[in-house]
Amino acid sequence: MKFLVTIAISLTCSATLAADLTIKITNVEETTGTIYIAIWKDETNWPAGEPWRGYTTAVQAPETNYTLDIEEGIYAVSVFQDLNGNAKLDRNAIGLPREPYGISNDAPARFGPPKWQKMTFRVGAEGYTAELKLR
């Protein structure tokens, strides 16, 4: 009985910490390929390391939406549309993206990746919608 109470309490606690994060990707022009979504939880791995979580979704133009349950906290999101199916963001000779990509808060990427502070947002109990415009 004590075991069942412990499970019930832990399930209740974890459920209260979850919120919906909706990722709204706009300016989707091509209907081919796959959208890759990276969720970043801290700046330790940004931008060269592994994201905290990764997802893929089918492309829908002119807007693609993806919703997931996530703990409340501070996050950043980056996405790209893999047009040629090689599962990576293709870049030109000087390192600029050749495929459509987006960053949370439309954080500017000038002379390198966007600054962590410019791309983060808070997911609270009410959830959050992160809007990213493909460039």
pLDDT in tens, 18-61: 999 999 999 999 999 999 999 999 999 999 999 999 999 999 99
At 5 the pLDDT is: 46
Confidence band for 111, pLDDT divided at 50, 70 and 90? confident
- Whether 11 has a pLDDT exceeding 70, the answer reads no
At 110 the pLDDT is: 86
pLDDT in tens, 64-95: 999 999 999 999 999 999 999 999 999 999 99
Topology adopted by domain 19-133: Immunoglobulin-like (2.60.40)
How much is the pTM? 0.86
Distant-in-sequence, close-in-space partners of 15: CB < 8 Å, separation ≥ 6: none
Q: Are strands 34-40 and 53-58 parallel, antiparallel or unpaired?
A: antiparallel
Task: Give the mean model confidence (pLDDT) for residues 9-22.
Answer: 69
In the chain, what are the domain boundaries? Answer: 19-133
